[in-house]
Amino acid sequence: MRAQLVLISAVALLAACSNSEETKTAANGEPAAAAPAALTAPEPGLWQQTVSGAQMPQPMTVKICVGETAPGSNPFNAPQAGVTCSENTVKSTPGGAEFHAVCNAQGMTVTSDGKVTGDMRTAYKVDITTKTSGPNVPPTMAEMKMSVDAKRLGDCPAGVAPNTVVQ
What are the tens digits of pLDDT across the range 82-105? 889 898 888 888 888 888 999 998
Which range among 59-73, 115-129, 143-157 shows the weakest confidence by mean pLDDT? 59-73
Give me the mean pLDDT over the 135-151 stretch: 91
For residue 27, the model assigns a pLDDT of 44
Angle at 145 between CA 143 and CA 151, to 5 degrees: 150
User: How many residues would you count in the chain?
Assistant: 167
Which residue(s) pair with 128 in the sheet? 114, 146
Q: Is the pLDDT of residue 153 over 50?
A: yes
For residue 41, the model assigns a pLDDT of 77
Give me the mean pLDDT over the 156-167 stretch: 89
Range 111-131 burial, b when 16+ CB lie within 10 A, else e: bbebbbbbebeeebebebebe
Q: How many domains does the chain have?
A: 1
For residue 79, the model assigns a pLDDT of 62
**pTM reported for the whole predicted model:** 0.72
pLDDT tens-digit series, residues 16-66: 332 223 444 444 444 433 333 334 678 899 999 999 998 889 999 999 998
- Per the prediction, the chain carries an average pLDDT of 76
Question: Could you tell me the pLDDT band of residue 2, with boundaries at 50, 70 and 90?
Answer: very low
For residue 159, the model assigns a pLDDT of 93
CA–CA separation, 117 and 132 (whole Å):
24
Question: Could you tell me the pLDDT band of residue 75, with boundaries at 50, 70 and 90?
Answer: low
For residue 163, the model assigns a pLDDT of 83
Q: Print the domain residue range for 86.
A: 2-166
